[in-house]
Amino acid sequence: MKLKTKIRIYTIGGLVCILVFFSLLIYVFFVRFSTNAEIRLLWTRAQTILRKPEVRSEQAWEEPELLREFLGDRMMIRIIDPSGTIRSNVENDPGLASYAPVYRTAYHTRVVPVWAERRIYIQVPILTVKNKRQVGVLELGKSFHLARGYLRVLLITLSSGTLVGILVAIFAAFFYVKWIYKPVEALAETMEQIEQSGSFTRLDPVFAEGDDEFGRLGGTFNRMMDRLEENYRRQRHFVEDASHELRTPLTVIQSYAGMLHRWGSENPAIRKEAVDAIQTEADRLRDLVEGLLQSADSQESQPDAPYMEVDLLELAGKTAEELSLSFQRQISLHSEPDVQFPVFGNGKRLKQMLINLLDNAIKYSGLSVELRLERDGVWVVLHIVDQGEGIAPRHLPRIFERFYRVDEARTRSTGGSGLGLSIVEQIVKEHGGTVELVSSRGEGTTATVRLPAYMQEDHPVE
């Protein structure tokens, strides 16, 4: 069963129950009200009867017309003596006489429901005028039909109103549910269209705006589609770039392997050239695969070592010393005196970040590289400054994208894969920091990394 049908059924059923409940409540109230009104009339009539002196005299009870003048429509009036015998009786509704006579010494009221009728009985003690001694009981009975008179009009009115209310409820439920269900239908149709076509279709702005739940749902759905489309675009771009990057060294290796197979055994020069080229491209392919693995690990945010307090000054000094020896280049380290630079993180990942930044600075700059550390409130700020050619402003917004190269020819000559800065950005995000590059052509590049300083109260030792 469709959700729309369920909502309509529940809505109509709920409204019908409410209408029937209140109609019954009103009917019961008026029945009680009319019954109490009849009881008060009987008590008044009983007091009127007792004002007649003959009623208080036992000798007058035998007179046939003693109570006739007080008899109303569908009534019974009778006098019962202490032995339970009916001494005087008048009635025009035989059904009232079916109530057995009972002698009581106190005032008494009883309502007997019989199908659509109500039979009301009241009893009043009869006392003598002189000594106030009870000599009998005056009993009055009245019968009235619920479907007669104004109760009948009320019953018809309530029944008609309930029927009309049910019809209105059905009509309103169909159109109201259709109107309120439009966003859900639009969402379902859009999702079916996405399933069939594979496209990233958005909801109509009419259903994706507003402060109600459906508006927020539509807006969230459209934003989710935007993110999915962007992720899909990046994934496709990544696959295309990775395929291109992997294809190039494989093609070179395959070409030189073929040349080596054909002429290498006879020509030592060709053999040496082919072996050197294969070795170079194999190394480059290895670096590329390692970069891809590091990028994937960073994206999954699964560090291979526990987080702990790391002295960034000490880590930067050791890393700079290692790279300075490896590349035979000067890397100077400067920091504020008597200042600590602790951060909370994965030392291995932070070292990888430093290596990638320093590696870029060394490769694209022929002069020395400067590494500076400073404190900015709760932040540890790291600057890596080179004096290379710099980067044009149009490249800076995309510099952290995977495989993005500022200069394709220059990057290939240095052996870069375009993954280093992407990995740096992912590592910095893992540690709750930010990274940015400031550069201009001919003036060098400055990479600035901001990491949260380690606070003992934020990371207590267990």
Residue 458 lies in a domain: no
What would the mean pLDDT of 375-383 be, rounded to a whole number?
93
Residue 161 lies in a domain: no
**297, 317, 349: which is the final residue of a domain?**
297
**297, 324, 351: which is the final residue of a domain?**
297
Amino acid 446: pLDDT: 92
**297, 330, 359: which is the final residue of a domain?**
297
Residue 24 lies in a domain: yes
Residues 230, 289 within the same domain? yes
Residue 195 lies in a domain: no
Quick one: three-class SS letters along the chain? CCHHHHHHHHHHHHHHHHHHHHHHHHHHHHHHHHHHHHHHHHHHHHHHHHCCHHHHCHHHHHCCCCCHHHCCCCEEEEEECCCCCEEEEEECCHHHHHCCCCCCCCCEEEEEEECCEEEEEEEEEEECCCCCCEEEEEEEEEEEECCCHHHHHHHHHHHHHHHHHHHHHHHHHHHHHHHHCHHHHHHHHHHHHHHHHCCCCCCCCCCCCCCCHHHHHHHHHHHHHHHHHHHHHHHHHHHHHHHHHHHHHHHHHHHHHHHHHHHHCCCHHHHHHHHHHHHHHHHHHHHHHHHHHHHHHHHHCCCCCCCEEEEHHHHHHHHHHHHHHHHCCCEEEEECCCCCCEEEECHHHHHHHHHHHHHHHHHCCCCCEEEEEEEECCEEEEEEEECCCCCCHHHHHHCCCCCCCCCHHHHHHHCCCCCHHHHHHHHHHHCCCEEEEEECCCCCEEEEEEEEECCCCCCCCC
Domain containing residue 286: 213-297
Residues 372, 291 within the same domain? no
Residue 168 lies in a domain: no
Residue 461 lies in a domain: no
Q: What's the pTM value of the predicted model, to 2 decimals?
A: 0.45
Residues 251, 282 within the same domain? yes
The predicted-structure confidence for 152-181, as pLDDT tens digits, reads as follows: 787 788 888 888 888 888 887 787 777 777
Residues 285, 388 within the same domain? no
More confident call, 66 vs 154: 66
The predicted-structure confidence for 310-364, as pLDDT tens digits, reads as follows: 999 999 999 998 888 877 888 999 998 888 999 999 988 898 899 889 988 888 7
Residue 169 lies in a domain: no
Residues 113, 251 within the same domain? no
Into how many domains does the chain fold? 3
